[in-house]
Amino acid sequence: MNSYEPLYIDYLIYFNRDQDYFECHEVLEELWLERNRDPLYKGLLQIAVGLYHYRNRNFRGGLMMLQSSLELLESYPNSSLGIRLGDLITDVRELVRDLQGNEPETIRYRDLSITIEDRALIELIQIRSLELTPNVPQRRSPTRGRIYEEKMKALQQNQVHEHQEKRS
């Protein structure tokens, strides 16, 4: 039985169940950093970011992320991390071709899906899905990770400084 990272399981749930690509980015970026910037995780992360931009009609940003994900992922086996990575790459490649057309705004948006092939991973996803509630509405800005923590620390320091100025 393979051991899968909890953040990876969350990524798959947010990707397939919720199509919450922003949250996919949040959880997988955290794992990517923990795993010394593993290119496999980065490629999966970039697919989510690309879909997030594409859905929000940022066609250039979506195309750039999706192309970059292909460059990272194409060297991996078709079956990796318990998923059919080859099928996902094929879907991304098709989407990139569509977005490279002259008028990407005429393309009808579509979500992608990741096929899970490892039974143990399927079971872990089913169990975790019961605990992991969808973000409704989906969030649009970070609420975890180093960047978020730095923003919150700066905000708190700013509030303390403003409070001190008012007291003076």
Q: Please, what is the average pLDDT of the chain? A: 88
pLDDT band at 1 (very low <50, low <70, confident <90, very high): very low
Separation in Å, CA 36 to CA 39, 40, 65, 78, 124: 9, 11, 20, 23, 24
More confident residue, 154 or 19: 19
For residues 117 and 127, give the distance between their C-alpha atoms in angstroms, rounded to a whole number: 16
Least confident of 56-60, 103-107, 138-142: 138-142
Cα atoms found within 13 Å of the Cα of residue 117, Cβ hemisphere only = 11
Spatial contact of 44 and 156, defined as CB atoms under 8 Å apart: no
Task: Report pLDDT for 105.
Answer: 79
Average pLDDT over residues 56-66: 94
Rounded CA-CA distance 89/96 in Å is 10
Give me the mean pLDDT over the 164-168 stretch: 70
Quote the pTM value. 0.81
Q: How confident is the model at residue 4 (pLDDT cuts 50, 70, 90)?
A: very high
